[in-house]
Structure 1
Amino acid sequence: RVLDWQPDVIHANDWHTGIVPTWLDTEGREEPFYQEMAALFTIHNLAYQGVSGRLILTFARMEYVKHLAVEQPGTVNWMAQGIAHADLINTVSRRYAQEILTPEMGMGLDPLLNERKEHLFGVLNGLDYERWNPATDAAIAHRFDVDHLDGRLINKTALQQQARLAVRPDAPLVGMVSRLDKVKGMELLEPVLEWLFSESEAQFILLGTGEPEYHEMFERLQARYPSRMRAFLKFDAVLARRIYAGADLFLMPSAIEPCGLGQMIAMRYGCVPVVRAVGGLADTVTDDTLRQGRGTGFSFDDFSAVACQDALRRALETYRQPERWRRIQQRGMRMDFSWDASAREYVELYRKAVAERRRKR
């Protein structure tokens, strides 16, 4: 109002901005300046809900906001309020939009989400293709593109040297860049890596920080297998790029993954993803075992070490088929996960949100 500008849509993101669609759908309805402003509310991660005492409503002069059935007594849940009051809601992948309707993934808000499921959509996050481009990336040992994949071997050699692993072009190199916590599937990895080192010649490189128990786990595994793995327990943006450019496989065994960007970056760099088919991972990675000739990686359904091992086994078997492996790499590199497609979907949601706001009036 101060700017004398009336947007058609306000796009709010996560619990931090849940107050915006709430206000527009209550107080804003009574003020002509705001009556036609629609609200789109994007859920990036339902686990973070912004629960506070209801006293905050007094400070915000919003005492009239109704208590929701999914809220604990005496509290206000800003994620829930945003969901309840927005004209439209979306998550950052289609699969995650389906998953949060279930008790297993709904984080206690699935009853509310099911009430609003006709207004719930999924739009995949995009990747900045200028920032993530192996043909121009100054951080990697050798630049390459989809038509010159032999250059990846130089990056693999440099990565093995940096990790103080044996320089073996023939040994499959599995990489991970991840937060170290249960949500990212860390609890599966000790038996998976034990199996990997006993049943294959593969090497493993990890980059990440997180919960102390997983720092200890990787330090223990590295002490046991010093010639086969290296755990970099830190944040290092340059090393992350080198892992994407030099590893053969990229492992993401997530328990929950609303979207995920690691698998998109990996494919962009010709690093074949092995993922759990959940959330955005399911939407972006096509298993080559199930759809040979169309696959861009490998996936597994059950959240278990055995299922993860099976996906890795299939990937390692395929790695020994160079022509098929290269086709998988090239299909992944040619995928379009840029923001262009996602932006078009958001524009369509903005139009739908405006129509919904007008319908409710």
Structure 2
Amino acid sequence: MRVLHACSELFPLLKTGGLADVIGSLPGAQIAAGADVRLLLPGFPALLAGIPDTVIVTEVNTFAGRVTLRYGTYNNVGVYLIDAPHLYDRSGSPYHDSSQLDYGDNYKRFGLLGWIACELACGIDFYWQAEVVHGHDWHAGLAGAYLATKGYPARFVFTVHNLAYQGLFSPHHLDELQLPWHFMQPEGLEFYGQISYLKAGLYYAHKITAVSPTYAQEITRPEFGFGMEHLLSQRRDWGKLEGILNGVDYNTWSPQKDALLPQSYHAKKLSGKAENKAQLQSATGLSITPDVPLFCVVSRLSDQKGLDLLLEALPTLLDEGCQLMLLGSGDADLQHAYLAMAERHPQQIAVKIGYDENLAHRIIGAADVIVIPSRFEPCGLTQLYGLKYGTLPLVRHTGGLADTVVDCSLENLADKTATGFVFRDCQASELSNAMRRVFALWAEPVKWKRVQRQAMSMDFSWDIAAKKYLQMYSQLE
């Protein structure tokens, strides 16, 4: 089976979020399971530099100008790159400028991604032709519309990584995008008078997947559906919506193999984790003590991630003498608030604004608890990393967090299935109560270590997800 993933990021070459991690791991796992899998990405500078030994497949005139389609390999996966400097040769984010303003030609930059994906199903590469096009998030949504205009030369699967980002553009671009005007209706691309690339992906897909089973159910409800809940409920009722949980690359995220950790460790010998904690405390100015739990956050700073709730609940943590190490960036008010808290409590709170992959590994390998109080979370990856590293997740019951973390309730502790701490209501008081349960378990070291070992034994490898996707492809009508 020949599968083409159309996407915008690839770990570790270009990453702004969890999508890059998925694309960096899922295709390789599918190849290992027997599929013929390739990627298609815009030719952003980081990707062209990271995959230098490419050959020209073709040069073609498109609605977005003349472009070169290149082909190379990365980590043994074939990769097509759309080489179009007039569209993609820009510094910084793939999506916006240094002022955080979306590029005005994003409709064209990502419309072209869908157009080329369709052409790879029609035989633009004489030697390889996609049978399944798998689009990821709004950036690849138009692939479904273009495939529909050609009578679906390939089946189209669309994965929702985060429904909040929809790719909305003016309908006056429709002619330039070379899409028929009859597509511009509610039963098509139209979303409140605009073209929605996300809706294109949802509407024209033979199968929609969400990145966790719970999120697949949540997005059919108004509070999570961002206006798409009716369409998604319909697709669910037709059997065309499925949740497949993301996985983890345990070659990258394993405390036994992680070269970025000062000390490696495993479930039967956790002394290395204690040494990592002491080193991180020293490096960040926190008081060096093994006696209090070190909480951590590795996240985008936003209300979606519930980090305003954590800010409100911080007195509960501070009053117990506990510590917090935060790594992330995002909302300016949240950044300033956390920096101010760190300045007032330098021995208990350390904050690093920005993203540092090496530091993220060191934090997760050192901390005792990773806090993810999200209002919604399609899948989440950091809680999966936390589980493997024995850094117990403290999460809200939503999306993939609900699917992967088992609460330390009395019954779950008794039957030895507990792996973390879960609260339900999106309130700071509920988060504070969950923190108090952390303190209670911390006071019983034998039980704490037992939960750690159970967490570290969980298997969320990509092999599982890859096989589910391949089975789903084979059943497409």
Structure 1 unpaired stretches of 5+: 357-361
Structure 2 unpaired stretches of 5+: 1-122
Q: Which has the higher strand share?
A: 2
Name the residue aligned to 2:286.
165
CA RMSD of aligned residues (A): 1.5
Name the residue aligned to 2:158.
41
Equivalent positions of 1:126-205 (< 5 A) are: 126-198=247-319, 200-205=320-325
**1:250 aligned to which of 345, 370, 378:** 370
Contact 1:41 1:86 in 2 (8 A): yes
- Tell me whether 1:107 sits opposite 2:230 in the alignment: no
Residue identity matched to 2:354: K
Name the residue aligned to 2:167.
50
- How far the C-alpha of 1:230 sits from its partner, in A, is 1.1
The more displaced of 340-349 and 145-154 is: 145-154
- How far the C-alpha of 1:320 sits from its partner, in A, is 1.3
Name the residue aligned to 1:334.
457
Give the distance between the partners of 1:201 and 1:3, measured in 2 at CA.
Answer: 62
Equivalent positions of 1:1-361 (< 5 A) are: 1-4=123-126, 5-25=128-148, 27-29=149-151, 34-35=152-153, 37-63=154-180, 64-68=182-186, 71-117=190-236, 118-198=239-319, 200-289=320-409, 291-292=412-413, 293-353=416-476, 356=477
Deviations along 1:48-86, whole A, 9 cap, x unmatched?
A: 111112233212322231411694454211111211111
User: Aligned pair count?
Assistant: 347
Local SS of the residue matching 2:439: helix
Give the distance between the partners of 1:9 and 1:190, measured in 2 at CA.
Answer: 45
Deviations along 1:279-334, whole A, 9 cap, x unmatched?
A: 11111111121522101101111111011111111122111111111111111111
Contact 1:67 1:76 in 2 (8 A): no
Residue identity matched to 1:65: F
Residue identity matched to 1:189: L
Deviations along 1:177-208, whole A, 9 cap, x unmatched?
A: 1111111112112221112112x121111111
Local SS of the residue matching 2:459: coil
Name the residue aligned to 2:101.
none
Residue identity matched to 1:272: L
Local SS of the residue matching 2:395: strand
Residue identity matched to 2:331: E
Give the distance between the partners of 1:138 and 1:6, measured in 2 at CA.
Answer: 39
Runs of 4+ in 1 over 6 A off after TM superposition: none
Name the residue aligned to 1:359.
none
Local SS of the residue matching 2:223: coil
- How far the C-alpha of 1:152 sits from its partner, in A, is 1.1
Deviations along 1:243-280, whole A, 9 cap, x unmatched?
A: 11111111111111111110011111111110111111
Local SS of the residue matching 2:300: coil
Give the distance between the partners of 1:39 and 1:160, measured in 2 at CA.
Answer: 49
The more displaced of 286-295 and 206-215 is: 286-295
The structure with higher relative contact order (CA 8 Å, sep 6+) is: 1
Give the distance between the partners of 2:193 and 2:428, measured in 1 at CA.
Answer: 41
Residue identity matched to 2:125: L
The more displaced of 106-115 and 3-12 is: 3-12
Local SS of the residue matching 1:55: helix
Residue identity matched to 1:2: I
State TM-score, norm by structure 2. Answer: 0.70
* Identity, % of aligned positions: 37
